Amino acid sequence: MSSHSSGRPPTQRLFAAVLPPGTAVAALRTAVAPLHALPGAGELRWTRPEGRHFTLAFYGEVPEDVLPELCVRLERAAHRTEAFPLRVHGAGHFGGRALWAGAAGGLDTLRLLAERADAAARRAGLPMEEHRRHTPHLTPARSRGGADLRPFAAAPAGFGGERWEAGELRLVRSVPPVPGVPVERPRYETVRAWALGR
């Protein structure tokens, strides 16, 4: 939670997400482990396993007084969306910025849930960026500069993890790292969770 000296209400940095089960995260961790031996791996910021999630909508700093309405609307979005099959599948990179692992399975339903999570925020009064087609992915690593991530994406490109049923929508708080501590990473805490289709 953060507060502002300007007199504005306190805020939380929030996003909506689907979290993979521990077994899926462990399988991805095993798949990317050999990448740590590649040249340049030490220059990347590797995401901790608990930080691997499929972000549906990023809300940024959400004022405390907006949170109840956002939760009501996210609950509605969850109940209108059925559970769906999902698995981690493939890999790629966003330029020189981030290495990603993709998804397979019920992607149409995942994208529908992302659209509903975005619409929930807009209806709750949050200013959202222009909505773009959702590209489901987890982020195993990010680059501090413009790294050549092609070798890192090529190795696990054929990775296909176990199938699971995505049955929950979560509202997650991102707690920023402590400034000046090089090994610190953001922490993620679930604020609320709603079962899909109920």
Of the candidate ranges 78-82, 121-125, 132-136, 192-196, the one whose mean pLDDT is the lowest: 132-136
Computed over every residue of the chain, the mean pLDDT equals: 88
- Range picked from 34-43, 74-83, 173-182 for highest mean pLDDT: 74-83
- Whether 4 has a pLDDT exceeding 60, the answer reads no
- Whether 114 has a pLDDT exceeding 70, the answer reads yes
- Range picked from 31-45, 84-98, 108-122 for highest mean pLDDT: 108-122
Give the model's pLDDT for residue 186: 74
pLDDT mean over 52-75: 95
Give the model's pLDDT for residue 3: 45
Pairing between β-strand 54-63 and β-strand 11-18 as defined by DSSP bridges? antiparallel
Q: Which residues contact 49 (CB under 8 A, 6 or more apart)?
A: 25, 26, 29
For the chain, give the percent of residues with pLDDT over 90. Answer: 59
What is this structure's pTM? 0.86
- Report the C-alpha gap between 70 and 117 in whole angstroms: 9
Q: Which residue has the higher pLDDT, 184 or 33?
A: 33
Give yes or no for a contact between 175 and 189, defined as CB atoms under 8 angstroms apart.
yes
Give the model's pLDDT for residue 48: 84
Give the pLDDT band of residue 9 (cuts 50, 70, 90): low
Burial of 130 (0-12, 13-18, 19+ CB in 10 A): exposed
